[in-house]
Amino acid sequence: MQVPLLDLRDQYAPLRDEIMKEIAEICDSQHFILGDKVAKLEKELTEYCGVPHVCGVTSGSDALLIALMVENIGAGDEVITTPFTFFATAGAIARTGAKPVFVDIDEDTYNINPELIEAAVTEKTRAIIPVHLFGQCCDMDKINAIAKKHNLIVIEDAAQSIGAEYKGHRAGSMGDYGCFSFFPSKNLGCFGDGGAVSTNNAERFKLLNIFRNHGQGSTYIHKYVGGNFRLDALQAGILSIKLRELNKWHDGRARNAAIYRELFAASKIGGAVKLPGVADSTTRHIYNQFSVRIGGGKREAVRNFLRENNVGCNVYYPLSLHLQDCFAYLGGKPGDFPVSEAISQEILALPIFPELKKEQLEYVVATIEKAL
């Protein structure tokens, strides 16, 4: 039995003809940057995410960067985020010249712990970037309350969580900005790099459009220094087709997560593997990853055993960001964020993509049982 961590070919096969036709149409038009296809996708995303404005950009990383740039966040400013996330979250903050300030995470959801945020706020703090990790939203009521009290911007990093819900609200609709990635391994992936920024505010939307095109208000007149953050028509055309299938794919992942939970409960593994927590019954977790915790120093052994037995798995993320060399200048040291550090030693993502068969999930759990 082979169980890859992710294989997108089965998802692509039924859409292939339609996507090929779309690509051909765009090639025939020779209109590749922004334009109708991007505008159409942006409109569809506003409806899908329940937010009035969406601006297509080059990647999830650039989505974070452009939101910070529009807010004129830079040298002398601090931005609060989690140390347990993909690098791009903190990387975007550092690229503006602002200082990333880390706050430890919740051990059940792996998301930033809102109870610890306020202690990290200083007079230099300008924004909070909560990351909806692995497909589950952060506790946004608490985060927004802190932001309101201290007059901070909230930039949701929803790169892994398009369509995830918190108390009936979709990811990216609850903060001042929502940042999405269409990297191929996200639940909604394009055929290269792509991203989007959502906002509830018409003025911010106007600025996003200007900043993604080198700060150009009208042709060759530059009021700001922006960048080339433009989404291209081929990616937008492909994404419009895939967006129609997205809820079905989310449901497939949720179904697989439920099967895993049953299989683990029925196994002899017991507490040796801790399954990802779901905040409450209003949470819609879209399971971009199904990341379990394997304690007792056994994670590496289980990971190797799974790979030897043809089960794909991966560690997101092996090193808490405050311990990365590139952030040594921030003065982080072991012990600063104990939950993030502990989880980085224990976490392991298992295959969860919607096309997996029940037998494959059974094989994953049986192989873990054997490994332990």
Q: In sequence order, which residues have a C-beta less than 8 Å from that of residue 311 and are 6 or more positions away? A: 3, 350, 351, 363, 364, 367
Q: How far is the CB of 35 from ligand PLP (least distance, A)?
A: 21
Q: How far is the CB of 141 from ligand PLP (least distance, A)?
A: 21
Nearer to ligand PLP, 260 or 316 (CB): 316
Nearer to ligand PLP, 86 or 249 (CB): 86
- What are the structure tokens assigned to 324, written together? 């990365």
Q: How far is the CB of 281 from ligand PLP (least distance, A)?
A: 25
Q: How far is the CB of 345 from ligand PLP (least distance, A)?
A: 20
Beta strand ranges found along 306-358 (DSSP E) = 347-350
Distance CA 131, CA 346 (A): 20
Please identify which residue in the block is written with the tokens 């924004």.
127
Closest CA to 134 of 361, 365, 348: 348
Q: How far is the CB of 231 from ligand PLP (least distance, A)?
A: 11
Distance CA 302, CA 372 (A): 7
Q: How far is the CB of 194 from ligand PLP (least distance, A)?
A: 7
Task: Report the relative pairing of strands 273-274 and 78-81 from DSSP bridges.
Answer: unpaired
Closest CA to 307 of 268, 343, 349: 349
Nearer to ligand PLP, 102 or 183 (CB): 183
Q: How far is the CB of 61 from ligand PLP (least distance, A)?
A: 3
Residue 265: burial class (beta carbons within 10 Å; 0-12, 13-18, 19+) = exposed
Q: How far is the CB of 59 from ligand PLP (least distance, A)?
A: 3
Distance CA 112, CA 104 (A): 6
Nearer to ligand PLP, 88 or 121 (CB): 88
Task: Report the relative pairing of strands 177-181 and 153-157 from DSSP bridges.
Answer: parallel
- φ, ψ for residue 184 (rounded to 5)? -55, -30
What are the distances in angstroms from CA 80 to CA 93, 99, 118, 278?
A: 9, 9, 10, 23
Instruction: Write out the residues near ligand PLP by the rule CB under 6 A.
Output: 59-61, 85-86, 88-89, 131, 157, 159-160, 181, 183, 193, 195
Nearer to ligand PLP, 130 or 237 (CB): 130
**Residue 299 CB: number of other CB atoms within 10 A?**
21
Nearer to ligand PLP, 239 or 361 (CB): 239
Q: Which residues pair with 228 in a beta bridge?
A: 213
DSSP states of 191-223: SS--EEEEES-HHHHHHHHHHTBTTEEETTEES
Nearer to ligand PLP, 181 or 213 (CB): 181
Q: Is 79 in contact with 126 (CB distance < 8 Å)? A: yes
Q: How far is the CB of 82 from ligand PLP (least distance, A)?
A: 9
Please identify which residue in the block is written with the tokens 């025939």.
28
Helix/strand/coil percentages in the chain, nearest 5: 45, 15, 40
Nearer to ligand PLP, 289 or 367 (CB): 289
Q: Is 127 in contact with 71 (CB distance < 8 Å)? A: yes
Nearer to ligand PLP, 58 or 173 (CB): 58
Q: How far is the CB of 309 from ligand PLP (least distance, A)?
A: 27
* Residue with the CB atom nearest ligand PLP in the bound state: 60
Nearer to ligand PLP, 233 or 272 (CB): 233
